[in-house]
Amino acid sequence: MHFLSFKSSTRRTTMTQTTVEASKNPQPSRLDPSFKNEVLREHDAETLKICFQCGTCTSSCPTARFSNSYRPRTVLRMAQLGLRQKVLSSPTLWLCTACFTCTDRCPQGVEVASVLRVLRNLAVKSGEVPLIYRELASNINETGYAYKIPEIRHKKREETGFPPLPKPKTAEIAKLIELTHGSKLLKR
């Protein structure tokens, strides 16, 4: 929710802003009491239960310094409260760079980066994967590379004396994707 600050009548303006934004999204977030326990059962997410919301993870996070929406503390709290759909469909869930700064600095020893990884894995299982990841997975499946390499790039390598790029083993990649049920990630 976005609030604007004004010098006069801040409270009235804030209430109006809130009402306008609430009318855009009339559905309240649904609590799923089993979600917290589902997360806690996953390896590396057990420490979610000892998070007391001090905010050290967010204040330490390099991504949070440059993003107005990414707050690891908020994601963990939503998971603790059982806001399954809100957590798993959140695009900010995918902004974690897995640098583990949050984990290193947490005074409670919460494995914040690991909990976020578990939440991303649960999002994948539920089909909530951002389009960019679907595109990358599809490219890997089709070409063996995360990005499609244009023919001109291959010619440039040859002209400048670089060796040709290795030929990817797409049959092996396809088998790996099949075995790991990675087809859920492929672009639809």
pLDDT tens for 29-81 read 788 989 999 999 999 899 999 999 999 999 999 999 999 999 999 999 999 99
- Tell me the two tokens of residue 31: 């609590």
Residue 108 maps to a domain: yes
Distance CA 35, CA 51 (A): 16
CA 8 to chain centre: 38
CATH for 50: 1.10.1060.10
Name the 3-class secondary structure at 173.
helix
Residue 19 maps to a domain: no
The answer to whether residue 145 scores a pLDDT higher than 50 is yes
Tell whether 42 and 113 lie within a shared domain: yes
Residue 29 has a pLDDT of 75
Q: Report how far apart, in Å, the C-alpha atoms of 61 and of each of 64, 93, 97, 100, 104 are.
A: 5, 13, 9, 9, 11
Q: Which of 125, 143, 169 is the last residue of a domain?
A: 125
Residue 91 has a pLDDT of 92
Distance CA 43, CA 51 (A): 16
Tell whether 93 and 144 lie within a shared domain: no
Residue 187 has a pLDDT of 67
Closest by CA to 89, choosing from 31, 130, 44, 41, is 130
Tell whether 121 and 37 lie within a shared domain: yes
Residue 57 maps to a domain: yes
Distance CA 178, CA 188 (A): 16
Tell whether 37 and 119 lie within a shared domain: yes
Q: What is the mean pLDDT of residues 79-92?
A: 95
Tell whether 117 and 143 lie within a shared domain: no
Residue 21 maps to a domain: no
Residue 180 has a pLDDT of 84
Residue 172 maps to a domain: yes
Structural domains of the chain, count: 2
Tell whether 77 and 118 lie within a shared domain: yes
Percent of the chain at pLDDT > 70 equals 84
The CB-side HSE value for 99 (13 A sphere, CA atoms) comes to 14
Residue 47 maps to a domain: yes
Residue 46 maps to a domain: yes
* Domain carrying residue 79: 33-125
